[in-house]
Structure formats: C-alpha cells, structure tokens
Amino acid sequence: MFVPSDLRAAVSDQAWLTAMLEAERALASAEATVGLIPARVAGPIAERCRPGLFDAEQLAAAGRTAGTPVEPLVRRLTELVGGEAAGYVHWGATSQDIMDSAAMLVTRRALDLILGRLDTVAGSCAGLAEAYRTTPMAARTLLQQAVPTSFGLKAAGWLNATLDARERVADLSARRLAAQLGGAAGTLSALGEHWPAVTREYARELGLAEPELPWHSDRGRVAEIGAGLAVAAGTMAKIGRDVVLLSQVEVGEVVEAAAGGSSTMPQKRNPVSATLAIACARNARAQAGVLLEALEAEHERAAGAWQAEWPALSGALAATGGAADAVARSLHGLVVRPERMAENLAAGGGLIMAERVAYLLAPERGRLAARDVVAAAAARTHEGASFRDALAADPQVGLSHAELDVALDPAGALGAAPELVDRALARHRALKGGAA
Amino acid sequence: MFVPSDLRAAVSDQAWLTAMLEAERALASAEATVGLIPARVAGPIAERCRPGLFDAEQLAAAGRTAGTPVEPLVRRLTELVGGEAAGYVHWGATSQDIMDSAAMLVTRRALDLILGRLDTVAGSCAGLAEAYRTTPMAARTLLQQAVPTSFGLKAAGWLNATLDARERVADLSARRLAAQLGGAAGTLSALGEHWPAVTREYARELGLAEPELPWHSDRGRVAEIGAGLAVAAGTMAKIGRDVVLLSQVEVGEVVEAAAGGSSTMPQKRNPVSATLAIACARNARAQAGVLLEALEAEHERAAGAWQAEWPALSGALAATGGAADAVARSLHGLVVRPERMAENLAAGGGLIMAERVAYLLAPERGRLAARDVVAAAAARTHEGASFRDALAADPQVGLSHAELDVALDPAGALGAAPELVDRALARHRALKGGAA
Amino acid sequence: MFVPSDLRAAVSDQAWLTAMLEAERALASAEATVGLIPARVAGPIAERCRPGLFDAEQLAAAGRTAGTPVEPLVRRLTELVGGEAAGYVHWGATSQDIMDSAAMLVTRRALDLILGRLDTVAGSCAGLAEAYRTTPMAARTLLQQAVPTSFGLKAAGWLNATLDARERVADLSARRLAAQLGGAAGTLSALGEHWPAVTREYARELGLAEPELPWHSDRGRVAEIGAGLAVAAGTMAKIGRDVVLLSQVEVGEVVEAAAGGSSTMPQKRNPVSATLAIACARNARAQAGVLLEALEAEHERAAGAWQAEWPALSGALAATGGAADAVARSLHGLVVRPERMAENLAAGGGLIMAERVAYLLAPERGRLAARDVVAAAAARTHEGASFRDALAADPQVGLSHAELDVALDPAGALGAAPELVDRALARHRALKGGAA
Amino acid sequence: MFVPSDLRAAVSDQAWLTAMLEAERALASAEATVGLIPARVAGPIAERCRPGLFDAEQLAAAGRTAGTPVEPLVRRLTELVGGEAAGYVHWGATSQDIMDSAAMLVTRRALDLILGRLDTVAGSCAGLAEAYRTTPMAARTLLQQAVPTSFGLKAAGWLNATLDARERVADLSARRLAAQLGGAAGTLSALGEHWPAVTREYARELGLAEPELPWHSDRGRVAEIGAGLAVAAGTMAKIGRDVVLLSQVEVGEVVEAAAGGSSTMPQKRNPVSATLAIACARNARAQAGVLLEALEAEHERAAGAWQAEWPALSGALAATGGAADAVARSLHGLVVRPERMAENLAAGGGLIMAERVAYLLAPERGRLAARDVVAAAAARTHEGASFRDALAADPQVGLSHAELDVALDPAGALGAAPELVDRALARHRALKGGAA
C-alpha cells in the first residue's frame, strides 16, 4: 500500500516476465551475431519474446514445480516460435542465466525510479537548507536540547546523507549490474569457442556490464545491491524520523503540507508521509537481510538461498522506492515555523546557551571547571530560578548583564552552521551539474 | 510464486478489506447490543459491510494520504449506509482498532491454513518414522558420517519438531489473537460507561479473545506471532535442508517424488519442494524480524513501526505457509532408498562403527584411551588399509574376527532409535486424538 | 559496557566452563546411579569437575581446533581424574550433549537474573500506575497529541507488557530448558538398555526437564529462547522509548532521577538509562536472529548454525538483561511532572479535546459529519484563532459557553483509564501473590 | 572463542580506550597547531593520553551512568594533566566526537587485520585454482550433479569473490573512515573561526579523511562499514559451506589438513575451520544489521541507535575477522582428491554428461526436443539401465559407440573453465602487483 504504482509495476510479475523474455531475446541475438546459431533464427525468436504472449500467473504456478518460472517459459517460448528457430531457443543457457539477468534488468529500472526520488528529496533538502541557512533552532542530542543550530544545517545534513545514498545507488547501478551467462553450471560448455564473444555481445545487448566470471553462486553483487538499498532506505528513515519528531505538537517546528487526518480525532495533522518512510525503510532492511544471507550459497547454484532472493530483491527495491517517495512527499511544501523554533530555543530560559557561557569562563578557569560552574547554575534552575538569574547571582560566573545578553542569544551562536550549509549546497550543485 | 493460492488469498488486500469490514460490523453490532447506539442502526450498517461495495485499490491509494486505509474506508462506508445509521458508523473507534482487529482476523485464517499444512507434514513424518523405524542409515554430524541411526529416527525428529511448532502456532491462535478496541488512544472515552460491555461483546462477535488492556502500543502479541511463525518456518527449513542433503547424487538416500527438471540438464531431479521450503523460511524470518522490531513503539501509536507491521505480518504468514506447503509436497510420496543408506553406511569401510568398537575396548582401557586407540586405527585407513584390517592387526584392539563382525554391523547399533521413534509416534497419536 | 556485572558473569567463559563441568559431573553421577558405570567412579570424577582446575582461555584456544571446547575439556578432565575412574569420564556422551546442557544451565541462571530485573521494572511500573492513576496527560498517536489519558494508564500499559514478557520468560525457563543427552548422534547407543534411566536421572541431576527426544538438531527450544528474549528486550525498549520522548525539553513530563551529564553541555539531563535500554534491546534482537536462523540445521548436528548459537545465546541473554536493568534504573525514582502534563494538555488550546467535542455533536449530526465540523473549526486555529473561539463562533457547533467549559476539560475525559489501571494492578498483585 | 587473539585485542575495551585517548591527543595538538589553544598545553595533554594511566573497567562502569565512557575519561584526563593545560582538555569537542573518531581508529586497525586474512585466503584460492585448473569435478546445482567443471574453476570463483570483498573493504578503509569533529551538536561553535583549520588538522593527525560535514547523526559510513563486513563475512561463509559439502564422507573430494576430532567418535575428520567460518559469518551479519538499523537516528545524536553501534561494530569486525581467519586455516594445506572427484563424476554412470549429449542432438532436433529425448533416456536409468545403454538403445539418439565415448567423457567437457581460471588469476596477480 505504501509503494507508488510505478515502483510496484517495476518489480511486478509482469516486469520480471518482460525482463526474462528480454534476456532470451538478447541471448538468441548475441548467438546469431557471433555465428553460434544461424543468423536467420534470431528474428523469429525475438518476434515471440513478447510478454503479451505469456501468462505470468500460469508460469508462476508451473514454476513451483520446476523451481523456477524459466523452465515453463522456455517450453512455452519454444512452442510459440516453432519451426527451425524453435530449436535454438535458450541455446547454451540455464534457467539461472535468464533469472539473474532478468533480476538485473528489473533492478536497473527500479533503481532509476529510486534515483529519481532521491533527486527530488535532495532538491527539497537543498531548498530548505538554503532558505533556512541561518534560522536558529535547537539542536537536540539524545532528544535533549543541546546547543543552537540552524534549520538549514539540519536540512544540509539530510541533503549530504541523501547525496551519499544517491551516489552509492548510482554506482551500484553503473558498476555492479552485470549480465549473467554461465550455462548449466558456469563453464559455458555449450557455447564452445564462441563463449567470449557471446558473453560480451549478450551483455552489450542487455546494456549490462560483462562480469569477470559467471556469478551463479557468487552473490556479492546482489548482496551489495541489498546493502545499498538498506542504506538508502535507512537514510530516508532518518529524515522521516526527524520530521516526525519536529512535528510533535509540543515542538511544532514543521508540519507536513499534506498532513493526514484521523478517522476519529478532528484536530489531527499526522506526519503521514514521514511515518510511511520509516515503515518502508524497515521492510527494505529486512529484505536486504535475506540478500546478505544468500551469500552463503552452495556449490554452483544454491538450494534455497538463491530462490529466496527473488521476492527479497523485489521487496527491497519497492520498499526503498516507497521510502524515498514518502520522504519526497513529506518534504514537498513542508511548513517550517521559525517562530516555534525561536520559542523552543527560549523555552529552557537560556539553558541551551550553557555550553557557550561555559566557554566564556573557560579561558580563565579551565574548560571542565567552567563547565562544572555553569552546570551548578543550571541545576539551580530546576528549583525555579531562571538560568540568567542563576548565572547573574553566581560570583564564580562573573559576567555582566551586557555580557549575559550576548552569551544567551542563540542567533549569535550558530558557529559553522551557515558555512557547512554552503558546503552541502555546493556538493549538490556540483552533482546536479555533473548529472545534467 | 512460492506461496499457495489459498494462503495468498488469505493475506491479500481483499482479505484485509473483508476483515476490516467485519470489524466495523462487529463494532456496530456490539454497541447496539449493549445499548450504546440505537439497536435499529446495526442492521443497516452490517448490510453495507460487504467487500463487494468497496474498491481495495482505491482505498489503498487514499490510505497513503491518511496513513491507514481505514480513514477512507470509514468515509465510504458512512456514505453507503446513509441516513440515521450513517451517523453511528465507527462509533467510538479509531483506525487502529479496525486495522489491528482485522490483522487478527487475517492472522487467524492464515494460521488455520498453516496448521493444516503442518498437520500434513506431521502425518508424512509419522508415516516415514513408522515405516523406517529400524532402517539403518548414517547419522551425520558436521555433515560427516558419525554413527548409525535409523531413517525412522530422523523422520521422528522432524515429526517432534513439527509437533512443537504446531503446538506453538495453535497456542498463539487460541490465546494470543485478541480483539483490539481502545478508541482514539486507548481510553475508550467515547464509549462512556458502556466500555466493558462493548469490548466484551465486540471480542465475542469477532470470535477473538478480549485482552486485559487495549494494546495499541503493546505489540507483544504481534511480535510473538512473528516469532512463532519464524520458528515454524525454520522447522520446515530444517526438514527441507535434510531432504536436499539426502537427495545429493553422491548420497542418494531420498528423491522427491515430483523432483524438478532443469531447462537445460536432462538428467536433473532437483529437490525443488525442499528448496522452496528453505527459501520461504528465510523470507518468513526476515518479516518476523520487522514484527519484533515493532515492539519499540512510541507512546499510544507508533509512527513507522506499526505501519511496517502490515506487510510484514502478511508476508510472514504467507511465507510460513509457503514453507509448510513446500515441505508437505516434498515429503508426499518421498522415495526412500534403504539400499543406498546401506551402501553409504558401508562406504567408509566400517569407520562409522568406530565409536562402537571404542566402547568395546573402553571397560578395559578406559573410554578416552580406547577412543584414541581406535582413532589411530582409523587414521591408518587414510593410507589405504581397510578399517577392519587395521583393527584386526592392532594388538591394542585385540578383538577376534567374530567380535569384529558383530562390532562392525550397523544394524546392531541403532541404540534407542526404535524406542525414540515410538515416543514421537505416541505423541503424534495423542495430539491427533486430541484434535479429533 | 551496558551489561551489569552479574549478567556479564552469568554468561562468561567461566560460567560456561562451570556449566560444562556440571554436565560432566551429572553424567557420571547419573550413570553410576543406574548402574551403567561402577558406583565407585562417580566420586572421583565429581571431585575433579571443579572449574578452578581448568584454564578457560586455553580450552577456548584448543576448542578452535576441535570445533568445541568440550573435546579438550574432556581430555583434561580425564587426565585430572586418573586411575580407573578416568576411564569413565564422558561415558556415552558427545561434545554436543555437554555444550547444549551447559547452554541450558547458563540460560537458566541468566534468565533468573533477567526475571529479577523484570520484577523490579514491573514493581516500578505498578507504583507509577497507582500513583498517577488519574493524572491527566496527553495521549499521543504518531507522536501527535490525540486525546487525554492518564499517566497511570501509560505506566499500566508498560506494566502489562512487562508482565507478559515476564510470564513468557518464566514459562521458557520452566518448560523449555531441557537436558540434552543423545550420545554421538542421538541414538544413545553407548548407553545400552540403560538409556531411559540415564537420561531421566541426568536431567534430574541438572534440574532440567527431560525432553521427548534428544534435540541435537531440533533447535526449537533455543530459537524460542531467543524469540522470548527478543520480545522481553523489545518490551523494555518500548518503555525506554517512551521515557526518552517524555523527557524531551519541550515535553518535560518526566526526568530520570540519575539523568546523565554531558562532557561539554552543562545543562544536559540526558535520559541515559532509557537510552541504554534501547541500545541493549537492539543488540538482543540481533543475537536472537542468529538463534532463529539456526533452526535450519543439517542432519544430526549442524555445521555452522550450531556453533553460531554459543556467542549469540550469551549475547542475547546479556543484552536482554542489560535492557531490563537499564529500564529498572530509568524508572527508579523517575521524576514525574503532572504540572507539565497539564501545560502540554493545554498547549494546543484545547485541540486535544476535539474528539470529545465531536462526540457531543455526533448524536445529532452523525459521527463523521460531526468530526468534519469540528475538524473545520480545528483548521481555523491554524490561522490564529483559539479553538474555543472557533467552536463558539460556529453555528454548526452550537455549544453554549458552559457546555464548552465541560467539553474542553481534559480531566473529565479520561474514559476507562482509571479502571484499566486497576486491571493491570490486579494482575500484578495476583502474579506477585502467586510468586510469593 | 572463534576470534583470533589479534582481532580480539583490536576491538577490546583497551583498544577503544587507546583510540579515545588518541583522539583527545589529536584534538589538543590540532588546536594548538592552529592557535586556538596555547601551543604550550598540547605537550602536557599528549603526555597524559597514555592508556596505562586509565582503568578501562572503571570508565565503563562510570560510562553506564553518563551514557558514554568519554565523560569520565575526560574528567580523569583533566585531573591527570593538571595545571593550566588541564583547562584545555577536550576543548570544543563533545563525547561523540571522541567516540566516533575512536570507532574509526579501531575500525581501521581491525580492517587491516581482516585485509591480511583476506589476502591469505585469496592466495590459497589462487594456488588451488592454478593447481587444479583442469582437474575435472562435478559442478552441482541445487546440490545435484549438473555438468563437469574443474576444481580450479570452483577455487577461481572463491578467489574472485574474495577479491571483490577485499576491494570493497579496502575501499571502505581508504575512503569512508573519517574523523568526526562537530562540537556539541555539529556546529563546531566552540572553535570559532578556527573550525576549518582545526577539523582539517585533527583529521590529518588521526590519519583519517576529513568529512564534508560532521556526521553525528548521519550514520551512513558506519552502516556501510557494517554492510561491507557482512558481505566479506558472507563470502567467507560461501567458501566454508563449499568445503563442508565437499568434505562429506560420501563426497570426499577435500579434507581439511587440520580436520577436527570428536570427543567420542574416533574416525571423525570434521571440517572444523570451514564450520567456524560459517558460524562467524552469521554473527557478523547479525551485528551488521544493528549498524544498518542505526541509520534511523534522531536529530543531532540518536538515543539508543548510536549507543548500540559500539558493541555491534566491535562484534562485526571481530566476527568477520574470525570468518576470514577460519577460511584461511581451512584452505591452508587443504587435501584435494582428484581421484574422488573422478569417481563422483563417474558415479552417476555418465548422467552428468546428459546436457552434452543433448547438445549433440540439438542441431538436428532442436534444443528442447533433444533435451527431452535425453531426459527420457536418463529416466530409464532409474529403472536400472546404464545411461550409456539407454542412449545406445534409443534410435532417437542415434549416436555410435565411438561418439558416445567422446560424449560421455567429462574431461572433454570443461568448457571455458580453464580460461575463466586464468581470468581470475590475472586479476589476482594485478591486484597483488598493485598492492606491492
């Protein structure tokens, strides 16, 4: 329910069927090109590699008996082709060649959709980072107000993490998606001397990299795709989590533009998209775990681990896309409330400036001693005193009222926040420039 | 692809929709019964709680905005009911009440299907245990031949583990599936003084247990269901793994009756069902992990963890059912080859009897010293000697030829295997009797 | 660092060594009792089963070669015993018998420590539930203020979940911890006809249940222990998460009595214990996953899965204990601030009462229409109006000022909260009575 | 118990303490260099950053109260330094700066140890690949004999996967280990205008990369380290799994040189190291899961997720190292038995050549029809006929005895295996050359 329809389609049974047929077509075409099979049969085979001629549901049912849907698909394709060309369908290949190559095609398309969402997310983060570059808000560590920061820096952190995730996913897409052709068990024996030419041409036809070796039971690339998706999804969950926390009524610093209503509570403005991002990310990570587990593969084709990859890969792609899509919606038009940020900064009566005060005293007293003096003043606020009064009353502090005014002003304590925002924005611009 | 169609249906969007409507109907009915809402409105509401009047896909799409499909479902149901009764739809409830109760209904139905499969598996295991109670085969530890056992005992071990899993799943179904009704956030405030009667009646209508407290953010029962499914699925994977290993060409002790063919290798008799059981179990365990993770739920309704439960629960149920179904098919008509078992026992030249020989010497020499003497003889077989000859030639062994004949006969060394088989069969009979 | 020292000790190498020796002692004793080995050897063997005579580090190193530490332990024990009795050390057993039985002993002791912590947690929750039975606070769903509840009900929810977890752990401890004795591969062949008596007596000596069958490769009980620990730890994380959220400066409804300071921020009062509970729970869940994965065990002893259990079991026990210990510390003396709860309830200008207002209008307008009218009024507050004014100004609402006063008072809207608290407290008292 | 002592030491409490002190030293040094603090204080601080002056256990205990061990460490260090310099200890930093930087230092050292093991593994694989480049053995898919391959190609597959894992780990070590310095919450506010110089110099002192932004709550790099470790460990498990399977008595194609004995079975030659590799990999993957989960980090420092990273990171590093070390031992001197490989190839009576026979018929009949003809002949072998006889008797096959001799000879059917071996060896040589 959380996955947008284009991503659902990209990993659907239909998408897998289409990709499997693309692999069969590429195989015949490559083999005809290099002269392993007669040139005249490639056309008739390609002609029948049309998904509309196949029933995905039927193949899945038959696939339960064969252990893969490829066996019945090849049988059906051979029937459809007929004549001499039928004899050359699936020549030299095994089911796993078709499934694994199809998995790569499905993955590539889904990764493209995911990258598009990550770009949207990055764009929104960049917009927020720029707009709120110097808007003071409370930084929070262990969910406690810590020191001032700017909302721009928070958004810049989201941006930077999203760009990392994007780079990693793009790199997987560019470098780790490889065609798979190994024949029955990785020796390509039915291709004879043509094997190097066929594998090269097959990869070229599919637009996938040619691997060093067939990877029937070297599942590193699939595991890495899983890991990359889990990292990307987890990055989306981080943004979602922050939005959920900032949206709390008591915090109130952001509101999703399309916050969700409740079936019973009229006032509710739920951060629905941020919430769904978190939900999706958990499902993505779980599926990625199956892909990492599949590395322990037996001999030349695993019994169980490999078959578990198919739904897990689809699931991880869909859920990661769902997470990125949800964050894109969450940040789209996000209502940001600098006035609530200011109120919250002030709510602790200046306690959030405690570190800054301590550093004013530190050159004279030493850092730790200064911290302890200010900590004692802070502790007195728990008995009702204002922090300012507690500081003013403490001879160990010894700051004038004017000095206290400066010390307790959050806007003057953003540190490197604006410049760090600029760094993230520059990186974003550079990547966008590179992508354009 | 691996999940049988009845289980797929049981966790489908349609099944969830049906269950949600059942919860809405039960709610109105319970409230009318206890006099919270007018008795005359229950009928018209129940009348419209028909899945055919709703579009599951549309609700899912709308649910992405609201965060749950219940909000749009309630809106649509209210429209459909019309008139005075419309005003009492979803009275006193919140979306989570409906989703969680629906989850329990979906779970109960899926658990029933899973229990049916586990029963079939248990029946097959019992049949094998009985038929091969004293059929000698090699027990294998760390995949090395260890000592003789009987195939019956191996099957009895499968049986016993399956009965454990079955008991646990049945117990979850009987005791941990509870109705959920807490109102907006667990205080049932809109039910007024009627709350105890409504919650009792609502649970009764749904055929679910009434919980101590509303469990909006106490996800223990869902986590336990996940854990129980992971255990049941893992138990199926254990059987599947053994079948895969016993089916190896070099071992050849069993063959699946409907072993699968390859798209390219004509001789292949792949243990497809056992393989798919392993694959399903991994997916089930991954989804169960999401349910365990959801325990860390914020306040009165989690943001992310709860929403992640829905696909994970459906997925865990389907995959566990898929695993049990696959094992049922794997064991159905399983071809067992006692002659290959005997050959394999003999293949090590009697080495598998080494422990038994050691125990013959142990009373005189001490257990460890005897083990070491026999280990030395065993080591000599790696240089080509037969184990029997190595033993016969060793004065430290000192067994006559007749004694060696007895010592090296696997059939005489089954130990407690037959009686242990009987124990498992007795338990199975007792449970079947109880279930009948 | 997060695990209390008693739990660290309970799962240490030394604890495992002690437990392994206890198993060896029990084995000899049981066998002597039933007459399988001479009665006179049990004493000398028991005499040497003292951990002080062994070097845990050395055994671990030697165990890397043998695959278990039991092999070198048996060798050393045999040496230490000497004479006739040496010949009867480890009679009829295999390494796994000793490791698995030791694992159960280690688990039992660690579970006792965990149960003690859970009892403390339950006691604290009960105290809070009772003390704040009718103290109004905001219930929060998706981290948004929802409707009023009482802090007592929140604590009662923690209590109820903790009691569930406690029951489950106690049940595992009572019913699923079983002695393991199967001999080389589960047939007990070296025990001859004495096997039923030996296994019964061995279990009795160890104070563990006697299993139906040896469970070398039926890892259900270990997996269930893992699952039970993950559920208990996750329950602790739920409490920890709530405490962290309630401790936020902007919420400020609780403060840990021993809140932690920062190395640099003088004002910080970090909810350290709640934080560590969350951290521990995640580690516990990860380790439990390894135990669930181990169900897929090959033949009569798994190669890899079984060995992975040892650190995972220790880790899961320690981390669960760490989580429970951290929650116990978090709740000990927890500072609760009813005044902040009241302020937060009021902060939304009465919006949290929106559902209640809607139900006042519902009998006349219908539930959903009433909800929508109130939602419209709530929406107007986002343009600056107070909720009360927005309601008062709306003719569709039509409530008098006096009616609005009542409607907008949270204290009058606790619903079933107090009675639900009583239910949880009654359960707690009943269990304590039972335990006493 | 499975982790070699150098790796245990590399992730020990002592190693963390050493690394934290290194971070404190580097901080003071960097700040003195750029003129933020007096140049004269760096020496006295560095002088006291000696692990011998601290008690790791005491710090851990105190750390339970503070939530990190850094707070008590800074307090102790300040005491030890004394005088003016004491006032500049930990200047401008927060606990997380020190913990995270220390984590990176610990990781770098552990990764070096892991890389060393992976190199050893790669070297062994390369040796096997070269030595057995054309040694025929059965390729096995779904654990069924499939077609011939060479043992060299199997080893080349291990090699190629190990090189992938090695590259990925090396890349993480080179590019993703970054210094962390953000001050209280990522704004570096206490460093004033010196922040760019200090962060640059601090990273340089530590020999770590300088990150774009402080990464307090952007946990991508830690998650990627976890993922990389899980992939590396899983790759080791794949090799371990193959060795365990090839070591089966019924297969007997390899034996570990230091195969382990049993405490009771004298003949056992357990593939202990391969088994422990599998066990370690599972623990590594579980810990990596915690690191992936930690991505969902709240605000500027996570409450729970971050603290969970410490044991998980140490655990993942140790377990991955343990897995690689175990595989290194497993392959060291591995006994390879070409004669058993030949026997196993022959054991199926030529069935393993079925695909090859089918391809001989394919040009005339078409691939699928030929496959089906040969499948029918193969099926007849299950009734006792030899495959050769079944083929010879079938007019649809129509091969002469001489043609059958060629068709059924595995040695002539290695396909691309030798050239694929050469590819992997060339890659290995190139990488070794690069590393040298």
Q: How high is the mean pLDDT of chain A?
A: 95
| pLDDT beyond 50 at C125 | yes
Burial grade of C343 (CB within 10 A; 0-12, 13-18, 19 or more) = middle
State how far the Cα of D357 lies from the Cα of D379, in Å rounded to an integer.
14
Q: Which residues of A touch B94 (CB under 8 A)?
A: 262-265
Radius of gyration of chain B (CA): 29
Q: What are the pLDDT digits (tens) for A388-415?
A: 999 999 999 999 999 999 999 998 999 9
Does the pLDDT value for residue C142 go beyond 50? yes
pLDDT of amino acid A147: 96
In this prediction, residue C265 carries a pLDDT of: 86
Measured between alpha carbons, how far is C401 from A290 in angstroms, rounded to an integer? 60
Query: How does strand B254-255 pair with strand B144-150?
Result: unpaired
| Sign of the dihedral through C-alpha C86, C88, C89, C94 | positive
Question: Tell me, what's the pLDDT at C372?
Answer: 92
Q: Which of A117, A301, A329, A340 is catalytic?
A: A301
A297-338 pLDDT, tens per residue? 999 999 999 999 999 999 999 999 999 999 999 999 999 999
User: Which DSSP string do the residues of A26-79 spell out, in sequence order?
Assistant: HHHHHHHHTTSS-HHHHHHHHHH--GGGS-HHHHHHHHHHHSSSHHHHHHHHHH
Q: How far apart are CA C342 and CA C358, in angstroms?
A: 22
Report the neighbours of B using a cutoff of 3 or more CB pairs below 8 angstroms. Answer: A, C, D
Least confident of A98-107, B407-416, D119-128: B407-416
**Is D121 or A386 the better-scoring residue by pLDDT?**
D121
Residues of chain C contacting D281 with CB distance shorter than 8 Å = 304
Tokens for D305, please give them: 């997720």
Positions in chain B short of pLDDT 50:
436
Res C435: pLDDT: 55
φ, ψ of residue B71 to 5 degrees: the values are -55, -55
Can you tell me the mean pLDDT for D273-300?
98
Give the chain B residue nearest D290 (alpha carbons).
Answer: B293
Top pLDDT among C433 and D131 is at D131
Of the residues A106, A244, A249, A264, the best mutation for testing chain B's interface (the one with the most B CB atoms within 10 Å of its CB) is A264
Q: Do D248 and B138 touch (CB under 8 A)?
A: no
User: Which of A38-47, A173-182, B374-383 is predicted least confidently?
Assistant: B374-383
D75: region left, alpha or beta (phi > 0 left; psi from -120 to 50 alpha): alpha
Tell me the C-alpha distance between B69 and B14, whole Å.
12
Q: At what angle do helices D220-246 and D151-171 cross, to 10 degrees?
A: 160
* Count of CA atoms in the C-beta half-sphere (13 A) of A293: 30
* Touching subunits for chain C (3+ Cβ pairs under 8 A): A, B, D
Contact A371 C270 (CB under 8 A): no
Catalytic site includes residue A301? yes
- Closest chain B residue to the Cα of A302, Cα to Cα: B275
In this prediction, residue D435 carries a pLDDT of 55
Is the separation of the CB atoms in A176 and A226 below 8 Å? Answer: no
Is A262 one of the catalytic residues? Answer: yes
Closest Cα in chain D to B245: D143
- Summarised one tens digit per residue, pLDDT across range A229-287 is 999 999 999 999 999 999 999 999 999 998 888 888 888 899 999 999 999 999 999 99
pLDDT over 90 at C436, yes or no: no
Q: Please, which pLDDT band fits residue C323 given cuts at 50, 70 and 90?
A: very high
Confidence of residue C434 (pLDDT cuts 50, 70, 90): low
Highest-scoring range by mean pLDDT, C376-380, C393-397, D276-280: D276-280
Minimum distance, in Å, between the CA of residue B304 and any CA atom of chain D: 11
Q: What is the C-alpha separation between A16 and A28, in angstroms, rounded?
A: 19
Q: Say how many C-beta atoms besides its own lie within 10 A of residue B39's C-beta.
A: 11
Q: What pLDDT, on the 0 to 100 scale, is given for residue B436?
A: 45
pLDDT at A1: 63
DSSP letter at C68 equals S
pLDDT at res. D60? 87
Contact assignment for C223 to B230 by CB distance below 8 Å? yes
From chain C, pick out residues whose CB is under 8 angstroms from the CB of A378: 266-267
Contact B249 D372 (CB under 8 A): no
Contact B164 C218 (CB under 8 A): yes
Side-chain-facing half-sphere of C91: CA atoms under 13 Å: 35
Nearest-Å Rg of the Cα atoms of chain A is 29
Q: Is the pLDDT of residue A196 over 60?
A: yes
Neighbours of C43 (CB within 10 A): 12
Return phi, psi of residue A28, to 5°: -60, -45
Task: Give yes or no for residue D144 having a pLDDT over 60.
Answer: yes
Residues of A in contact with D276 (CB under 8 A): none
Q: Is the pTM of this model over 0.95?
A: yes
The count of other CB atoms within 10 Å of the CB of residue D329 is 25
Tokens of residue C209, six digits: 């249940």
D1 pLDDT above the threshold of 90: no
Q: What mean pLDDT is predicted for residues D378-398?
A: 88
Q: How far apart are the first and last CA of chain C?
A: 33
Cβ atoms of D288 and D231 within 8 Å: the answer is: no
CA atoms of B130 and B152, how far apart (whole Å): 6
Nearest residue in A to D226, CA atom: A227
Q: Cα–Cα distance between A124 and A159 in angstroms, integer? A: 8
Beta carbons of B365 and B312 less than 8 angstroms apart: no
- Cβ proximity of B69 and B62 under 8 Å: yes
Q: How many helices (H) and strands (E) does chain B have?
A: 18, 4
Tell me what the mean pLDDT of segment D415-424 comes to: 98
Per-residue pLDDT for D61 more than 90? no
Is D303–C93 a contact, with Cβ atoms under 8 angstroms apart? no
Strands, DSSP E only, in A35-185?
136-141, 144-150
Q: Do C141 and A262 touch (CB under 8 A)?
A: yes
- State the pLDDT at residue A8: 96
Q: Where does residue A31 rank: exposed (0-12), middle (13-18), buried (19+ CB within 10 A)?
A: buried
Chain C residue closest to A143 (CA)?
C248
The shortest C-alpha distance from A390 to chain D (Å) reads 22
b (16+ CB within 10 A) / e for C196-223: ebbbebbbbbbebbebbbbbbbbbbbbb
Question: Cα–Cα distance between A288 and A219 in angstroms, integer?
Answer: 13
Identify the pLDDT of residue A436: 45
pLDDT at B278: 98
Q: Which residue's structure tokens are 């995905």?
A: A56
Tell me what the mean pLDDT of segment C120-142 comes to: 98
Distance of alpha carbon A199 from alpha carbon A33, whole angstroms = 12
Q: What pLDDT shows up at residue C65?
A: 86
Does the pLDDT of residue D436 top 70, yes or no?
Answer: no
Q: What is the pLDDT of residues C68-118, one digit of tens each?
A: 999 999 999 999 999 999 999 999 999 999 999 999 999 999 999 999 999
Check A175, A262, A367, A429 and give the catalytic one. Answer: A262
Q: Which of the residues D40, D64, D262, D386 is marked catalytic?
A: D262
Binary contact (C213, B156; C-beta < 8 A): yes
Q: How confident is the model at residue A66 (pLDDT cuts 50, 70, 90)?
A: confident
Strand partners, C260: C270
Q: What is the pLDDT of residues D10-33, one digit of tens each?
A: 999 999 999 999 999 999 999 999
Residue in the block written with tokens 């806007």: A411
